[in-house]
Amino acid sequence: MKTITDIKGTFTLNNGIEMPYFGLGVYLSKDGQEVVNAVKWALDCGYRHIDTASIYKNETGVGKGIKESNVLREEVFVVSKVWNSDQGYETTLRAFEATLDRLGLEYLDLYLIHWPVSGKYKDTWRALEYLYEQKLVRSIGVSNFMEHHLVDLMEESSIVPMVNQMEFHPFLAQQSLLDFCVKNQIQYEAWSPMMQGNIFTIEEFKELAKKYKKSIAQIVLRWDLQKGVITIPKSSKKERIISNADIFDFELDQEDVDKLDSLDKSKRFGPDPDNFDF
């Protein structure tokens, strides 16, 4: 099991880069003061990992929040993603340049392919390999890639993805995909850990919240980390950002981890990586 220490703790990627295992997601945070504040509050609270994407339309605010914080750029692990309509070799390179420009940064810590667009993701990956070789990005990876996508990509690529960011929660653990990623040294990362709010209705979580004297959100985020999965809960509310990070003073018993594992029912709340049309 990977060691979990504190909010600034890291998991080591397959290229030796240290990636903070806890971060702030900014999906749905509005560009401008809302996301600027969220980023500043998170960094003030100790977060050192911010996850955005070009499709979120808030990269400008994320960059501003980092600049206005009291934290040095090199201490923040910044992630963005190339959107589906920008995929392809040349278009990805242009999209990356636009992302850096909006963020006001000289490099990214991690750049991901947002979705496995059929017929395009291999050319997109070649562009990411080029950016990595040029040292414009410290690590590269994918998002929403199933095992067959990863196998297909790795057959023709020279670099194994460092990260796979997936919908991940107790109703959708996809243990075989997680095992495949572990075996191939691809770091697993969770999006939608709260099941779009549905986590708060589950009895097992209510029971564990009482047992550990923690919130339901804190229980599921701790479960993510104990599964060796990086997690990036999203919020633009200061209290929630602070509360989400309060998960380093307790540990779930193995029997409780197993209990949450047993809830898996292959249920998605987001799009299916094998059947999306955007």
* CATH at 45: 3.20.20.100
Q: What is the mean pLDDT of residues 52-60?
A: 98
Q: Residue 2 has what pLDDT?
A: 83
Residue 4 resides in a domain: no
pLDDT tens by residue, 225-265: 999 999 999 999 999 999 999 999 999 999 999 999 999 99
Q: How many domains does the chain have?
A: 1
201 secondary structure, DSSP code:
G
Residue 139 resides in a domain: yes
Q: Residue 257 has what pLDDT?
A: 97
**Residue 23 structural domain:** 15-261
Q: Residue 266 has what pLDDT?
A: 97
Which residue numbers are catalytic?
Answer: 56
Residue 236 resides in a domain: yes
Residue 220 resides in a domain: yes
Residue 272 resides in a domain: no
Residue 2 resides in a domain: no
Q: What is the mean pLDDT of residues 62-77?
A: 98
Is residue 69 over pLDDT 80? yes
Residue 211 resides in a domain: yes
Residue 5 resides in a domain: no
